[in-house]
Amino acid sequence: MLAESAQNIVMENLAKFEEILMNFNHLMDKTALRDKCGDLDTCCYYVPRGPVRTMLGQNVHLTMVCKRCAKRRDVFLTKEEYFTQEKLIYKEIRDV
């Protein structure tokens, strides 16, 4: 019981620390950000994973995955939104 509560405290603090480093949650829609991350009392920490695909209408598709609970979400960005974040997205995908 004590070890479990200590683990929860460590995971919550780690979650808060990770959000300071590099967070792609601003690319997510507000409904996805309302979901809780597993048993933690924080929102998911989404990072891009997998291939970046172009779609019709000059849109870009990204698959985002939560680092902590592995929840997957699809994100569609406009061309301008994508080019603003392109270097960070590729850096994150390359570091996987």
For 72-91, write each residue's pLDDT tens digit: 888 888 888 888 888 888 77
So what's the pLDDT on residue 46? 83
For 16-42, write each residue's pLDDT tens digit: 544 445 667 777 777 777 778 877 778
Q: Where are the domains of the chain?
A: 2-94
CA proximity to 69, closest of 95, 96, 44, 32: 44
So what's the pLDDT on residue 19? 46
Single pTM value for the model: 0.64
The Cα angle at residue 32 between residues 74 and 73, in degrees rounded to 5: 20
| β-sheet with 46-55: strand ranges across | 46-55, 59-66, 72-78
The answer to whether the beta carbons of residues 50 and 64 sit under 8 Å apart is no
For residue 44, count CB atoms less than 10 angstroms from its CB and return exposed for 0-12, middle for 13-18, buried for 19 or more.
buried
Helix (H) or strand (E) holding 66: strand 59-66
